[in-house]
Amino acid sequence: MSELSNIKRLLINMHCSRCRSEYDENSIKIMRSEKGLLVFQVKCEKCKRCFGMALLGMDSNELEKALDMDEKKPEINAEPINYDDVLDAHHFFQNLDENWSKYIN
Ligand SMILES: [Zn+2]
């Protein structure tokens, strides 16, 4: 699976904090992808709000594994996706808003 589709899966159920639009493939721009570091930009197509996300210590393969694990244990966990993890991550990512570009050389 491509990095882009993995990131899109990560962003499912996330909305633009300004206009509540959902993100799609066109919203995502991968800035850096290497072992243990995945940096991408998410831009709302509707209101153009833009923010950066960095996945540290996780490359796209590990991201895919994590996403697959979430989907494969719905019978154990009533929640189909572990939203807590996503929300925690989202909070962390939001902190990068102002300085996220420093992760990009
Ligand atoms: Zn928006």
Whole-model pTM: value is 0.60
Ion ligand 1 neighbours, Cβ < 5 Å: 16, 18-19, 21, 44, 46-47, 49
Tell me which DSSP letter residue 49 carries.
Answer: -
26: CA distance to ligand 1 center in Å? Answer: 13
> Does the residue 33 lie in any domain?
yes
Task: Give the number of domains in the chain.
Answer: 1
Report the half-sphere exposure of 40 (CA within 13 A, side-chain side): 23
- What pLDDT does residue 64 have? 86
Comparing 73 with 58, the larger pLDDT belongs to 58
Cα of 46 to ligand 1 centre, how many Å?
5
CA 15–ligand 1 middle distance (angstroms) = 8
Model confidence over 30-49: pLDDT tens digits?
Answer: 998 888 888 889 999 999 99
CA distances from 37 to 15, 16, 32 (A): 23, 24, 7
**Full residue range of the structural domain in which residue 8 is found:** 3-99
Residue 73's pLDDT band (boundaries 50, 70, 90)? Answer: low
What are 50's two structure tokens? 């833009």
Instruction: For residue 104, tell me if it sits in a domain.
Output: no
Q: Report the half-sphere exposure of 74 (CA within 13 A, side-chain side).
A: 4
